[in-house]
Each structure stands twice: as C-alpha cells, then as structure tokens.
Chains A and B, each alone.
Chain A
Amino acid sequence: MPSKHLFLQSNPQRWLLVANVGAAIIYFFVIAFLFPHGNQILFWLLIAGEIFHTWQALSYIYTVWNMKHKAHRDAEFVPPVDVFVTVCGEPVEVLEETVVAALNMDYPAHRIFILNDGYVAKKDNWQEVEVMARRVGVTCITRKTPGGAKAGNINNALRQSSSPFVVVFDTDHVPHKDFLSKTIGYFIDKKLAFVQTPQYYKNAYVNAVALSSWEQQELFFGPICRGKNRLNSVTMCGTNMVIRREALLEVGGMAESIAEDFVTGVFLHQRGWKSLYVPEVLAEGMAPEDFLSYTKQQFRWARGALDVLFRYNLLFRPGLSFAQRVQYLSSVTYFLSGTVVLMNILLPLLFLYFGLVPVKIDTMLLAAVFVPYMLLTVGVLASTSNRRFSFRALSFSISSFWIHIRALWSAMTGQKVAFSVTSKEKLSGNFLGQVVPHIMYVVLVVCGIIFAAIREGLSASVVNNVAWALFNVGMIMPYIVAAAPEGYMRKNLSRIYEMMFIPDKVVAARLRVVTAVEGKKA
C-alpha cells in the first residue's frame, strides 16, 4: 500500500525554486531573442509553447513557494452532518464498504445518505443499492428525474436533507473513522465554505496504470493542494470533502457542469467564502486499474477543466482574488499542454523529414541553458513532491497529450459529453487503439532517422534531432506498454518496463497476486 503521508511532507528548498525561475526565464529569452529564426510558423509556435511552459513553471513555483498553512480547529464543534455517498452503477460491494465505513465514523451526529443515480443512468444494479441500503440501515435517495449528472444527484439530495454540513464521498472512497472529527472542527470559522482532503488510492501498487495515476495524484494532493491552501484557492475535488450547506445553497447548489466540483469551488470563492485543504489521508479510494478507465478519467478531467476555461472567464470573473485567478487558470490551462507537447514532439520529425527548424540554433548554447533548466526542474519536482513524483508519472502526463487534444477539440466544438464514472473493476483487453498516435510517432521516428541519415549523414544536427526524437520515444514508451494487450506482447514489454521503472514493491505485489491465483487454481 502506498505511503499515506510521505507525499504530504515535502519541504521545498527555496533556492532551488528561485534558481528554477531564473533558468526558465533565461531559457525563454535565449530561445526567443538570441538565435535567428528558421521557419517563421514553427518559430512562433515554439514561442507560444515556451510561453505556456514558462507560465506553467512560474505558476507551479508560485503555488509551492510556501506550503505551510495553519487553521484553527475546534474539536468541540460537532454540528449535525449529512454524509452523501454517490453511486451510479458501481458494484454494490464497493459501495457497501464505503457506507459501512461512513456509518462507523467517530462522530455523534451524522446521517448517511446513498445518492443512487443508477435508475436515471439506466444501470442494472440500482435496485440492489436500495436493498443494500435497507440492509445496513441507511437512507437511499434514488433519483427518478434525470439531469445534472453527479451535481444534479447531490442537489437532489440537498433538497431532501437538512444538516448544516454535507460530506461527499464517491462510491469507492472509504472514509477513516476520524474523517469527521478531523474536518468538521475547522468550520468554527464561519466564512469557511468547504474542506477538501486528499484523494488517496489504496490500490496504487496493483499495476503500472494505477501507480502512474496515483503518482500524478501525489503531486496534486501533495505540494499543489498544500500550496493552494495558503492562497485560499483550494480546488474542490468532488469527493472526500465537507461543505457548509449555507454556502452551497448561496451559490445555487452544486454547479451542473461536467466539472461540477471545480466550478462550485470557483463560485464559492467568488462569493468570498474560504476553503481549506487538510493534508491528511482521511479516506481511501481506488485508482483506475486498466488503461481504458485511466484514459476515460483523464479525458473527463481535461474536458471539464477546458470547459471551465472556455465558459467561465476565470481571468476577469469578479470576486476572485489575484491568487485565486492564478491558481484556477494554472489548473485549467494545464490541460492545454497536449497541443504544446504535440508541437514539441513533432519538431525533431520536421527536421528529420524536411530539414525544418524553428530557430537556427547553436545546439551547445541551447544545451547550456536547457540542461540546467531541466535539471533544476527535475530537482524542483523531486524536492516539492518529497520525491514522490516519478518518471512514470511524468511519462503518463506527457503521453496524455492526445487525450488533452481530444478534450480541447471537444470543448472548442461544444460536443456534449456524457458524465461517466471511473470503472471500479479492472477491464482487460487490447487498449492499443488508445495509443495509435503514439505508435505512429515511434514508426515515424524510425523512418525519419533512416531518411535523415541518407539525406545528410550523421551530421551534428541529425544526431541532435535523433536524440530529441529518442527522448520523446523514451517518454511515451511506458504509456504504450501500459496499453499493450495481455498476452505475449504485454508480458514481455511489461517485463522490460517493470525492470526499468517499477519499484520492487510492485513486482512483489504482483508476484503475490500471481501466487495467490495459482494457489486457488491448484
């Protein structure tokens, strides 16, 4: 089981942050002003990409600059609480574990509500949920009128409950006994609208997909959320959170958007309400265990964030502080990175095939500014995440470029996207269809190397661009491997992958699983 505290314990070294800012600025100016331009279109695309990178780097450093934040908690403050557990077709046994854990929370005045959306979502097991609710003795609110997806489900429950505080758990997020006792006390501050806690994945070590997913979470729920805390800009994440009913009703309940939690948080901050992040694992959920679930989850997040970017005018929205604008913009613009990644990985190919370059560059001068910048970035990521962010997570983040591009296209064209929950069961099969652009890239690189070598031999430019292309292939390869089908290919690719990148624990965990399965078979 992954550590429940290490990702919350980073203590960034300020000199490293300052040096990284300096390196980022120097790199940008060198790229923008020091070299003669090559192809004009590529040059301006590159500059746009670099502006984006610099913005991301600076906003990240601004966020993690100080992660210390103290808020007063009154342990004697124990108002009534309604606990909402949302369900929309997930397995009943998964839901039951969460409900039972919620019932067993150490708190004198809480009621449990199962918010059953199975009926409106036409899920087969909606009645089983009601049976289970009766069996364990909790209220089940089964919605009969559709609309608003998860937000609509919660809003429906708000109308049928009355406690001044509401807790929301997704189906698979099993709360600890002390969840309420460690969160409710903060609401002694009458301006506090919501408390968010980490979204911890207890199944992270099951496989590479779950682990990568968790490691990305570690960066977000570690340094990023802790940094947002001091800026009163905590992102509402939709589960493992406590909300003041009064505040929620003031903004009209949960915003019925694809990113309902995020948007609701924005609305609350806009009205001057405060937010708090409690950096302690108080509930344990499940990471997506298969590639398809992972990509669906990423698409949903990206689509939601981009929807916010295009529809909610975060830059000029009244009521938000400067820090909140920066934080929200930083969060949603991250999902624009797909286009920048695509451009960056295409640059070496454009040279290998057509000899096109954005700038006529002295490669060693570029190295002189780029290498320190990247090493410092690696150092900052390692330092601020308490060394929890891994190459694997970085690889998955970068390789999600195609998901982000699809989400961007979907958001720009206003395509309707149905709300879907992340599967709580591992799906098996061939997911290579999800990584066709990545496979095409590898093929193009191989052909491009041959093509360029025939055209101009192993010149310094060819070697340098080949190195960049291999850099990109190395970055996306773990992602392709994770999508490979079960069987011979997956087995062998996975062995190589695990050999290189997965800690011993994963292999050990997997061995235990295999042994257990084989034991049963015997």
Chain B
Amino acid sequence: MNNDRFRLNPVPFVILLMIAVLVISIFVWMGQGLRLDEAQSIWQTSRDLSGVVRIVAKDVHVPFYFVALHFWEVLFGTGEKAVRFLSLIAFVASIPAMFVLAQRAYSTRVAYYSALLTAVSPFLNWYGSEARMYSLLFLVTALSHMCFISLWKAPTRGLWAAYAAVTLVGAATHPFFGFILLSQAIFFFAWRGLFPAGSLRRFGSLAAVVIALAAYWGVYRHLAGAGLSNPALSTPTSVDFFNVFSNFFIGFQTDAINTFFLSLWPVLVFVAFTLLDKKHQSEPETAYFMMASFIPIALAFVVSVAVTPLFLSRYLIVALPSLYLLSIHFLSTYKDRVAKATLGALCILSLVMLFVQAVDPRSPVKEDYRDAAHYVTAHAKADDLFIVSAPFTTYPVEYYYDGSARLATFPRWDRFDQGSLPEAYSPDLIERDSKEWEGIYRDVYMLFGYDQGYQEDVRLYMDTHYQRVDMKTFSPGLSLYVYRLRYL
C-alpha cells in the first residue's frame, strides 16, 4: 500500500463527505416520522433532570445521552428534526474521527475509505438521524479506539485524560460499551509489553471508577424498579447472528435482498483465504480491532442465548468502527488495482443499499406511526376509540395524534398510575375489554405494531366477533384495523 499515491487533500474530502451526509440526512431521513424508540426518548427526556435519570433507570439504558438530549430539547425544542439533530452531529463527527483513527492505525488509504464507508453506510445513516444514542455510541467507540491505540504508540498525559473522559462518556452512553472496555482489557494483558510503564496502574484506576459508577447505577436502577418497561426480545438464532453483519454492511433491507446477500457467505470465506499472504504481518492494531469487533458480537450472542436476550444490531454498533477498519485494511492489502476495485465495490455496494433503504417502503425498520396517527386523527370521531398495541407503541402515536377519539392501549397501561408495567396479557383480556368498549364506543381503531406475541390472537378475536370496516398497513409490521362495535 502506497500512501504517497493519495495526494488528495483530506480536509476538503472529509468536509465534502460531512456536508453530503448532512444534506442527505436532513432531506431524506429526517423527513420520516418518529419511530417508537425516538418517541420514547422524547417522552423520557421531557421532564426535569432528576425525572429523566429516574425514568431512564427503569429502562435498559444508561443516562448520558438522555441527559444530553434533555438539555438539547431545552435549547431547540422537541420537533422531529430538532431531536434528531443531536444524533446527526455525532454521526457527522464520526467521519473525521474514522479518518483519523484509520490513519493512525493503518494508512492514509485506509483512512480515506474508512471515512467514505462511514459516510455511505446505510446502517449509520439510519441511526445518524434517529433520536437515540447509537450514533453517539459509534463516535465514542471510534474515539476510544483512537485514544487506546495512541496510548501504546505515543502516550502523553493529555491522552490519558482524553481516554479517561471518552471511557466515562462511553460507559454512560450504552452498557454495550463495556464490551469495548473488556476487549481493551484483554488486549492490554495479552500485549502488555506495548504499553508504557505505569499503564496498569492507570488502567486499573480508571476501571475502578467505571466499576464503581456502574455499581452505583445498578443499585439506583434496582431501587427505581429497573427493567419493567423492557420490550420482549426473542432468543437470537444463527440468522440473527449474521443479520448483524448484513445490517452493518447493507443496512436494513427486505428479506429477499437480505437473504440473497447472506446466502453468499461462502464468498467471504474465499476472501478470507485469499488474505493468506506473506504481506500480512501480525500488527497489534489488527489483533486489537479483531478483538473489538468479535468479542462484543460473540459475547452478546452467548449471553443472549444463555442468560437473557439482548442481541440487537443497534446495540452492537460498538463493534462497527473496528469492523469497518478491518474490512478496509484487509482489502487494501491486495495488489493496488484489486484493492481499489474491491474497496470501491464495497463503498458502491453500501451506497446502492443506502439508496434502496431510503426509497424502498418495505424496509423492515420503517415505522410510520406519523401517518397512522394522522389517518386516525382524520377519520376517527369522538365516539370512537383508538387502541394501540403493544402498549409502549403509544409513545410515537401520542406524539402525532391529535384526534377526538380517546386513545388507549391494549393491554391496558396507565404509565402514571401503575408505573411502567402494562397489564399482563392473557387471552380473556380482549373479551373483557371489547365487551366494555361495546357499551361506550361505535368504532375501534386498533393499531398493531411491535408484536409481543399476542397480536394475532387479538386480531382473530376481533375478526370473529366484530365487523371489520377498514384495514390499512402503514409500514412493515404496523397495521391499522377498524372494527364496528355497535350500530346506532
């Protein structure tokens, strides 16, 4: 790999990418309606600071992003674009961060392609305009890698301080950042000779602080009644395992596209074999990035299968900076023209998939609660009832719904009286509730999203007991059914 061949000035290149990402995000992604998680973020952060921390403690997350979003909302409000812009800033900042990280770890060529791949990544573009912590987590992870590898290359006191700060922010942004810290700890003990004297003491001190804060947060969560609002996740399968990688590289596509790409996995094994070459010497950076890529994914999978399901590609975004770097590094070690062709193909593939993800309405992660709520606002009358199920999908509906029909959930969930625990589902609940609705309302608008395992039972019950007068699907997995409860 010859760095001198790259005579492009990196500053305008990176700035151009940042501007392109900003424009695409503002005009494509931010125009979409808020998704469930985003609406939940707004709901959680639209209160005083202690309230924000308390409500986050009941969820599965840690508070840094929510506190930041709280202050952001104070300044810029809770509009769709406003709340998403915080994530967009983190995403845009990730582009130069990846450039610098790749340049420090490998070379200028890897840096250019890393920045480009980051900018065109369908996965990062998706979370870059979502009012959640994932793009911030990506940025913090990239910065953590940057500090960590610099600690063995050119350690300074300032660098240690930066590493400590990034570590604390990362640990307070998402629990999965712990996998990165674990990878760093394993790497440190395996390659201890790389690090300057006194590193063990410093890492140990920082670890003690992180563990103490995590323990404090754990106790606080326990006292606050943590975990009551957790969505039910299913135990991951091997398909879910590989979907993480397909999400990372081709984003969120329809089953047909996803299956096509996943079925090509033997080609990846072939690529791995072609990388057997004398040129590939064992760089510590590569060993480190391999750990940072695969330890989080493998451990999350094992924990999900053995303990409790928590295997979601967005949580595993912590593995993505290193995975992108490794992919580009390995491809860049081919002979020059082949390297250019394969790296170009990777970036073009990402770009095409980004386009498909943007325009294909069947994209599995699209959640059009906005259109659903607007539809009900326009059609439901004061003597109708608007039911959302699962209960926690009420967050985005509440954000947009402005109709005269009463809004409720099935199963029932009064967040203010009963804490964050919805009524536990049982098959007789729908019979009980529908009998009650019959006496009061004319039509019931039932919006089904985020199936928690009982959606089909409920729909079948309603179909067999009432006349269905309308049905409309707004996005994959989000459908509205209208039933006539009684005739006047």
Contact = CB atoms under 8 A, between A and B. Distances in A.
For this complex, into which size category does the number of interface residues on chain A fall?
35 or more
Nearest to B241: A368
B334 interface: yes
Contacts of A461: 263
Contact of B238 (A362, A394, A458, A498): A362
A467 B238 contact: no
A467 B280 contact: no
A133 B118 CA distance: 70
Interface in A381-399: 381-382, 387-391, 394
Nearest to B261: A463
A508 B266 CA distance: 33
Contacts of A388: 278
Interface in A444-487: 458, 460-461, 463-464, 467-468, 470-471, 474-475
Given A378-B272, A394-B273, A500-B334, A471 B267 contact: yes
B242 A391 contact: no
Contact of B268 (A365, A371, A458, A501): A371
Tell me what chain A mostly uses at the interface: helix, strand, loop, or mixed: helix
B259 interface: yes
A332 B266 CA distance: 29
Contacts of A371: 265, 268-269
A364 interface: yes
Contact of B274 (A374, A460, A501): A501
B242 A364 contact: yes
A139 interface: no
Contact of B263 (A460, A500, A503): A460
Given A387-B281, A474-B270, A467 B338 contact: no
B264 interface: yes
A389 B335 CA distance: 18
B238 A390 contact: no
A460 B242 CA distance: 14
Interface string B248-279: 00000000000110111111111011111111
A470 B237 CA distance: 27
A363 interface: yes
Nearest to A382: B276
A436 interface: no
Contacts of A368: 238, 241-242
Interface string A286-321: 000000000000000000000000000000000000
Contacts of B282: 387
B270 A378 contact: no
A374 B272 contact: yes
B239 interface: yes
Given A368-B241, A375-B272, A460 B259 contact: yes
A401 to B, nearest CB: 16
A375 B245 CA distance: 16
Nearest to B259: A460
A51 interface: no
A359 to B, nearest CB: 15
Nearest to A398: B273
Contacts of B264: 463-464, 467
A382 B280 CA distance: 9
B337 interface: yes
Q: In this complex, which of A363, A458, A461, A470 has the most chain B Cβ atoms within 10 angstroms of its Cβ?
A: A363
Tell me what chain B mostly uses at the interface: helix, strand, loop, or mixed: helix
A375 B293 CA distance: 14
Interface in B199-241: 237-239, 241
Contacts of A470: 266-267, 270
Contact of A471 (B270, B275, B280, B335): B270
Interface in A360-376: 362-365, 367-368, 370-371, 374-375
A471 B266 contact: yes
Q: In this complex, which of B265, B268, B275 has the most chain A Cβ atoms within 10 angstroms of its Cβ?
A: B265
Contacts of A503: 277-279
B280 to A, nearest CB: 6
A499 interface: yes
B273 A391 contact: yes
Given A378-B276, A387-B278, A364 B266 contact: no
B130 to A, nearest CB: 27
A502 B335 CA distance: 8
Interface in B259-315: 259-260, 262-270, 272-282
Contact of B269 (A374, A382, A458): A374
Contacts of B280: 382, 387
B89 to A, nearest CB: 36
Given A362-B238, A367-B238, A378-B272, A391 B267 contact: no
A341 to B, nearest CB: 14
B260 A463 contact: yes
Contacts of A463: 259-260, 263-264
Contacts of B274: 391, 474, 500-501
B335 A500 contact: yes
Contacts of B276: 378, 381-382, 387, 389-391, 394
A371 B244 CA distance: 15
Nearest to A498: B335
B338 A499 contact: yes
A463 B256 CA distance: 12
A467 B281 CA distance: 29
A390 B274 CA distance: 8
B266 A464 contact: yes
A391 B260 CA distance: 27
Nearest to B243: A364
Nearest to B262: A364
A388 B279 CA distance: 9
A448 to B, nearest CB: 15
B384 to A, nearest CB: 44
Contacts of B337: 499
B281 A370 contact: no
B153 to A, nearest CB: 22
Contacts of A467: 263-267
Given A365-B238, A463-B260, A467-B263, A499 B335 contact: yes
A378 B274 CA distance: 10
B242 A367 contact: yes
A381 B280 CA distance: 12
B3 to A, nearest CB: 15
B265 A475 contact: no
Given A364-B239, A368-B241, A471 B269 contact: yes
Contacts of A460: 259-260, 262-263
A389 B334 CA distance: 16
Contacts of A389: 276
B23 to A, nearest CB: 35
Nearest to A348: B266
Contact of A390 (B237, B278, B334): B278
A46 to B, nearest CB: 16
Q: In this complex, which of A390, A498, A501, A503 has the most chain B Cβ atoms within 10 angstroms of its Cβ?
A: A390
A458 B261 CA distance: 11
B322 to A, nearest CB: 16
B204 to A, nearest CB: 24
Given A468-B266, A471-B267, A378 B273 contact: yes
B237 to A, nearest CB: 8
18 contacts: A363-B265, A364-B238, A364-B241, A370-B269, A375-B272, A391-B276, A394-B273, A460-B262, A463-B263, A464-B265, A470-B267, A470-B270, A474-B270, A475-B270, A499-B337, A500-B274, A500-B334, A500-B338
Given A364-B239, A364-B241, A500-B335, 8 more contacts: A363-B263, A374-B273, A378-B276, A387-B281, A458-B260, A461-B263, A464-B263, A474-B274
Interface of A: 362-365, 367-368, 370-371, 374-375, 378, 381-382, 387-391, 394, 458, 460-461, 463-464, 467-468, 470-471, 474-475, 498-503
Interface of B: 237-239, 241-242, 259-260, 262-270, 272-282, 334-335, 337-338
- Top 4 closest pairs, chain A to chain B, by CB: A368-B238, A463-B263, A467-B266, A464-B263
